[in-house]
């Protein structure tokens, strides 16, 4: 497999990705916990990074041999809390164990405040060629509300440095709908991001996840994100991205031609991917597996010579078909209807969504025309009863 060529919303790429191979590596370390985050992360445990990297290498070595990887995604947490050497050890273990495909995509999530020229140079030498920077906002007040530690200027510097260092693709993550964020502030954030000419842009609505500091604050009376304002922010960003030449290829993701994220495309196509690290989820040989979330439990299991698996499931045929539709309909390319899609179109809910202009058959594809109403399509799929193929 080579780097995807062409428009990221191409139906050909959307379908071809089902046959590609990937791996996800989770790095749980953070300088501090963001109030909205419910991922498997820890703060104040920097002294455990060497031990964790050794455990990752051991876990990778335990994985039965597989085909070469077309994409590796190192996420978190904050992978940029590790040293270049530690990240290099992880990549080398992956390369040695599985091999890499032709021109693989090798991605790293990073925070702007961690980004330095020496880090960027070292990452490129280690084989990383894509970086996703957690910018979130260019408004200082919004950054403080989100618990972020960088300044807008540090974010701009990180992007420019990644460009100079030769990263093939640079992605920016942005969050919209923070209470107190105005429409003008959000538009200024998107404009400032687009002025940096990123190859890829990911835009996410702030959500209140159970068990987070944000959820506790909202329960105590703090303002929650306003869904109507979030919808307005989303539509404004869509127009700005379109005008800047970015192509929307999934509900939350835009990219320039030739810069669709290979790892993302594999996930959305129900492709197979390995997973390593605390809380990581993988999909191989039709089985979905998840690792233990707690750092100490993960280390104890791996150091004891055991795979750190917490659970696994094999989806029945109908559940797998429902999943294919729910994930695939998030893409601009949509899905081939298949037996599940035909069932959806014949259902009362599916017919209502068609009449409302939310769901449409376009040629041999089934697509959601209004991404903000994509959850309605997902609910309709979940409500379906299986029928004979």
Per-domain residue ranges for the chain?
11-268, 317-382
Show the low-confidence residues of the chain (pLDDT under 50): none
Amino acid 386: pLDDT: 83
User: 263 with 105: CB under 8 angstroms?
Assistant: yes
The Cα 24–Cα 264 span in angstroms is 11
Q: Is 232 helix (H, G, I), strand (E, B) or coil?
A: helix
User: 247 with 256: CB under 8 angstroms?
Assistant: yes
CATH of span 11-268: 3.20.20.70
Closest CA to 371 of 189, 226, 237, 200: 237
Closest CA to 259 of 24, 70, 8, 58: 8
Q: Is 121 helix (H, G, I), strand (E, B) or coil?
A: helix
Q: What pTM was computed for the model? A: 0.96
Amino acid 6: pLDDT: 82
Helix locations, 99-244, DSSP H: 117-126, 140-145, 152-165, 183-195, 213-219, 227-243
What are the contacts of 261-264 at 24+ separation with CB within 8 A? 261/105, 261/107, 261/130, 261/169, 261/171, 261/200, 262/1, 262/3, 262/4, 262/17, 262/20, 262/22, 262/70, 262/71, 262/104, 262/105, 263/22, 263/24, 263/71, 263/72, 263/73, 263/105, 263/107
The Cα 268–Cα 127 span in angstroms is 25
Q: Is 82 helix (H, G, I), strand (E, B) or coil?
A: coil
Amino acid 170: pLDDT: 98
Note the pLDDT tens digit of each residue in 282-336. 999 999 999 999 999 999 999 999 999 999 999 999 999 999 999 999 999 999 9
The Cα 304–Cα 292 span in angstroms is 14
Mean pLDDT, the chain, rounded, equals 95
């Amino acid at each position: 497999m080579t780097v995807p060529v062409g428009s990221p919303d191409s139906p050909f790429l959307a379908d071809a990705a089902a046959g590609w191979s990937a791996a996800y590596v989770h790095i749980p370390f953070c300088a501090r916990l963001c109030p909205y985050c419910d991922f498997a992360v820890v703060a104040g445990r920097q002294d455990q990074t060497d031990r964790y990297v050794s455990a990752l290498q051991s876990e990778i070595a335990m994985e039965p041999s597989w085909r070469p990887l077309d994409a590796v995604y190192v996420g978190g947490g904050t992978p940029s809390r590790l040293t270049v050497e530690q990240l290099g050890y992880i990549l080398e273990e992956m390369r040695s164990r599985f091999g890499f495909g032709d021109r693989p995509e090798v991605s790293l999530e990073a925070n702007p405040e961690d980004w330095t020229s020496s880090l960027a140079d070292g990452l490129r030498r280690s084989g990383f060629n894509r970086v996703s920077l957690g910018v979130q906002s260019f408004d200082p007040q919004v950054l403080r509300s989100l618990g972020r530690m960088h300044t807008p200027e540090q974010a701009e510097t990180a992007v420019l440095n990644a460009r100079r260092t030769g990263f093939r693709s640079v992605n920016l993550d942005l969050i919209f709908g923070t209470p107190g964020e105005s429409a003008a502030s959000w538009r200024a954030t998107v404009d400032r991001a687009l002025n940096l000419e990123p190859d890829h842009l990911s835009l996410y609505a702030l959500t209140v996840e159970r068990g987070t500091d944000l959820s506790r604050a909202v329960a105590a009376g703090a303002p929650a994100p306003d869904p109507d304002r979030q919808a307005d922010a989303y539509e404004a960003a869509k127009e700005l991205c379109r005008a800047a030449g970015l192509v929307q290829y999934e509900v939350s993701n835009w990219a320039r031609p030739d810069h669709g994220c290979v790892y993302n495309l594999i996930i959305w196509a129900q492709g197979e991917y390995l997973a390593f690290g605390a809380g990581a989820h993988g999909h191989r040989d039709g089985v979905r597996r998840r690792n233990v979330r707690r750092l100490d439990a993960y280390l104890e299991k791996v150091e004891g010579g055991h795979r750190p698996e917490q659970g696994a499931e094999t989806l029945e045929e109908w559940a797998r078909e429902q999943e294919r539709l729910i994930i695939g309909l998030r893409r601009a390319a949509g899905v081939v209807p298949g037996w599940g899609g035909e069932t959806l179109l014949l259902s009362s809910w599916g017919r209502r969504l068609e009449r409302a202009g939310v769901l449409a058959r376009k040629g041999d594809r089934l697509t959601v025309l209004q991404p903000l109403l994509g959850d309605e399509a997902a609910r309709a799929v979940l409500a379906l009863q299986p029928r004979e193929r």
